[in-house]
Structure 1
Amino acid sequence: MSVLVVGLSHRTAPVALLERVSVSGDRLVKLLHDVHVAAGVAEAMVVSTCNRVEVYAVVDRFHAVVNEVSELLSVHSGVPKEQLTPHLYVHYEDRAVEHLFSVGAGLDSMVVGEGQILGQVRQALRLAQEQGTLGATLNDLVQQALRVGKRCHAETGIDRAGASLVGVGLTLAARVLGPIQGRRALVVGAGSMSALSAATLQRAGVSDIVVVNRTHERAVRLAQTVGGRAAPFADLAAELAEADLVISCTGATDVVVTADMVTPREMFLLDLALPHDVDPAVRLLPGVTLVDLESMQEGGADTGADDGGRVEAVAAVRGIVAEEVAAYLSAERAARVTPTVVALRSKAADVVEAELGRLVSRVPEIEGRIRDEVTQTVRRVVDKLLHEPTVRVKQLAESPAGDHYAEALRELFNLNPKVPDAVRRIETIDMEVDR
């Protein structure tokens, strides 16, 4: 079984297409289950954010599953497969591991180094666990990717070098409005991105923060965390009329802020939703500036911070990712050969027991002490004969072609690692191999 990734992101697709493909809620759960029950798929997880939609799967075949996942993405999004396929990327085995680690580290984000992707990957992991589509392979891989991402943020300056999308948006807002301290900010929505937006506004020195959400209780809770106030959703138009800076990120499928709700004047709107929360026609209003994911993508999310420190931080993160990928693949290859080593040692132990039983039946007069000595001697001989090849095959298994050595061992000794009796002594055998 191997890990496969099929997806599209801001690097390969326009935001308009990402809007159509992005799934959430019940649609996300349905896609997850449809992938999981596809032929050849043993485990599945879906990462769906404003910048990417990726399907991770553990598979026993390649081309058939790639075609099936591509078809499912087309069906669930309503985008014809021939329009979708040119924007898809596919990573398999080693490249899939490297891609996930890079995603978790923030190297593949629109704003390199942003930390929110870790929470988004964690949410995808939790959903797959809750829905029962995850197994040991994908669970361990994703957990490792999260650990790698945390390490990158802890050991490098990538947090300072790569701001979040909200941070970039506020930088752009300051270019339009001037210093944002003292301005009135309106946050539309109360989800995780809205919470991040409100917290970022507070850290930037904005004290007048209003939160509007369809579920008023959630707006109240979020507003309380930043010392702001909550307003009913029905008052959205009135609050827009008083706001200088608006950040919107809801889960709505239709436009939330229409052009007729916005008064022409100096005003900055940051639309971080997918699909759009703010009607693009707002851009036509005098004095109004609208920045959304598409315009940030087209502008490369440039904040003017691409200095030597940023380059150095990114290089450091790439080094950590390369190191962690190599370590993961090495351990994973070594683990693959363990069942074969166990089967070999188990088979040898069975042969020893059978031959000792035959000796006792043929020479029943052997005394107990002598019988024990013979038994121990035979076992030591077999252990010493097998120790070097089993240690060596584990070492060789860590190389890229390591599977071939285990396969040769299975062929030479006619081993079947899947037989239950072959793995019952695994702890004892591992102790023998590692000593």
Structure 2
Amino acid sequence: MSVLVVGLSHRSAPVALLERVSVSGDSLVKLLHETHDAPHVAEAVIVSTCNRVEVYAVVDKFHRGVSRISELLALHSGVPLEDLSRHLYVHYEDRAIQHVFSVACGLESMVVGEGQILGQLRQAFRLAQDEGTVGRTLHDVLQRALRVGKRAHHETGIDKVGASLVSVGLDVARAHLGPLEDVRALVVGAGSMSGLAVATLARAGAREIIVANRTHERAVRLAESAQAPARAVELHRLPEALTEADLIVSCTGATGLVLTADQLQGIGDDGRRRFFLDLALPHDIDPAAVREIPGAALAALDDLRTAQEAADAIGPEAIEAVRRIVADEVADFLGAARAAAVTPTVVALRSKAAEVVDAELARLSGRLPDLDERSRREIAHAVRRVVDKLLHAPTVRVQELASAPGGDAYADALSRLFDLDPKAPEAVTRADITEGTEP
């Protein structure tokens, strides 16, 4: 079984295609289960954000795993497979681990170093755990990835190199509106991205923040959490809030437009400058309607692509430091995984040795029935010590050798040399997985 990544992101696909492939809610759960239930797939986790859709899987057949996952992505998105395949990337085994760790550190994000991806990875991981599609392998990979991401941010300050999408978008807004201290902002949505927008606007000193959301209670909670003057409005009052706002940030999980031409009609008659920031996928705001508003400007995900280049120019040292961290963590993780893979074989060898010792001691008892109990204990102890000493060096050495690339060959050699039952290591592995606990 090996780790496989199949996906597409802002680096490989246009936003319009990402919009079509992006999944959430019940559709995400359905795709997760269909992937997990596919032939040759043992585990599955799906990360679906505004910048990427990636399937992390554990497979026993590379080509068949890639084919089936690609087919499922095409089926759920409605994008013909031949069109989708041109934008898909595939990472396998060691390269897959490196990719997941890099994603967690923000190296693969549209804005290098943004910390939001850690929460998104954690959310995808928890969903897979709740739905029963993640096993020991992906559990270990994602737990380690989350730790690597935290380490990268703590040790390098890469989160200061690249701001979040919200921060970058608000920088663009400043260029159009000027300082945000006198701005009345409207945030449409109450999810994690909206929460980040409210917090960032509060730090920027926005005069007032209005939160509108389909579920009014969530809007109220978000407004109450703001460290700034803020209030919540019900969604049917959105047109009124639009006329009040100078800055409109929309980031909902809707499948269609939220701010349509009808809703935006008449906005701008007061002659004020306005800025619309659309951070949703699919897009929330009708760009054609915004173009009809006097003094209005719009920035969406496509307009923020240059933030990646800017981050690379600002912080090459921090980015290189994170890459070194990722390389070290990947090497350590893979070495530990290879060493652990030989453990069932070592346990099976020691179990066989114990069985041989027990059988020989039983035969000795039959041949020497008059042997006193103390002598029996001394003989048993001596025989077991001899066996342990003989096995110690080779079993320790094989675990050391197994941590290097190609180390699985040593486990196979051990099995052949000692004529171990091929099913014995598998039984040990199954028992380990069954008895393991989730943190």
TM-score range, shorter chain: over 0.9
Q: Is the 8 A contact 1:333 1:399 kept in 2?
A: yes
The alpha carbon displacement at 1:349 in A equals 1.0
The alpha carbon displacement at 1:126 in A equals 0.8
The alpha carbon displacement at 1:284 in A equals 2.3
Task: Report the 3-state secondary structure (helix = DSSP H, G, I; strand = E; otherwise coil) of the residue aligned with 1:181.
Answer: helix
Counterpart CA distance in 1 for 2:108 and 2:203 is 26
Q: Which amino acid aligns with 2:390?
A: L
The alpha carbon displacement at 1:287 in A equals 2.1
The alpha carbon displacement at 1:207 in A equals 3.1
The alpha carbon displacement at 1:363 in A equals 2.3
The residue aligned with 1:293 is 301
Counterpart CA distance in 2 for 1:228 and 1:422 is 59
Classify 1:170/1:340 alpha carbon distance in 2 versus 1 (closer, same or farther; 3 Å).
same
Matched, 1:367 2:372: yes
Match of 2:324 among 303, 319, 323: 319
The alpha carbon displacement at 1:364 in A equals 2.0
The residue aligned with 1:431 is none
Matches within 5 A, 1:415-426: 415-416=420-421, 418-419=423-424, 423=428
Counterpart CA distance in 2 for 1:9 and 1:207 is 36
Counterpart CA distance in 2 for 1:381 and 1:373 is 12
Q: Which amino acid aligns with 2:74?
A: S
The residue aligned with 2:150 is 150
Counterpart CA distance in 2 for 1:366 and 1:392 is 38
Counterpart CA distance in 1 for 2:216 and 2:410 is 62
The residue aligned with 2:407 is 402
Counterpart CA distance in 1 for 2:308 and 2:177 is 18
The alpha carbon displacement at 1:418 in A equals 3.9
Q: Which amino acid aligns with 2:192?
A: S
The alpha carbon displacement at 1:366 in A equals 2.6
Counterpart CA distance in 2 for 1:159 and 1:413 is 53
The residue aligned with 2:354 is 349
Classify 1:144/1:269 alpha carbon distance in 2 versus 1 (closer, same or farther; 3 Å).
same
Q: Is the 8 A contact 1:282 1:288 kept in 2?
A: no
Classify 1:389/1:111 alpha carbon distance in 2 versus 1 (closer, same or farther; 3 Å).
same
Matched, 1:251 2:253: yes
Identity of aligned residues (%): 65
The residue aligned with 1:168 is 168
Instruction: After superposition, give the CA deviation of every residue in 1:114-146 in whole Å (9 maximum; x if it has no partner).
Output: 000000011101111111111111112111111
Q: Is the 8 A contact 1:339 1:417 kept in 2?
A: no
The residue aligned with 1:280 is 287
Task: Report the 3-state secondary structure (helix = DSSP H, G, I; strand = E; otherwise coil) of the residue aligned with 1:87.
Answer: coil
Aligned residues: CA RMSD: 1.9
Q: Which amino acid aligns with 2:52?
A: R
Deviates more, 1:354-363 or 1:177-186: 354-363
Tell me the TM-score normalised to structure 1 length.
0.93
Instruction: After superposition, give the CA deviation of every residue in 1:385-430 in whole Å (9 maximum; x if it has no partner).
Output: 1111101100000000100010111122221364389759x99xxx
The residue aligned with 1:101 is 101
Tell me the TM-score normalised to structure 2 length.
0.93
Deviates more, 1:313-322 or 1:366-375: 366-375
The residue aligned with 1:268 is 275
Deviates more, 1:148-157 or 1:362-371: 362-371
Task: Report the 3-state secondary structure (helix = DSSP H, G, I; strand = E; otherwise coil) of the residue aligned with 1:351.
Answer: helix
Matches within 5 A, 1:190-209: 190-209=190-209
Instruction: After superposition, give the CA deviation of every residue in 1:269-304 in whole Å (9 maximum; x if it has no partner).
Output: 11000101000203523321110012222x3456x5
Q: Which amino acid aligns with 1:268?
A: F
Instruction: Extract unaligned runs of 5+ from structure 1.
Output: 428-435
Counterpart CA distance in 1 for 2:201 and 2:331 is 40
Counterpart CA distance in 1 for 2:188 and 2:368 is 88
Q: Is the 8 A contact 2:3 2:96 kept in 1?
A: yes
The alpha carbon displacement at 1:260 in A equals 4.2
Counterpart CA distance in 2 for 1:23 and 1:336 is 35
The residue aligned with 2:186 is 186
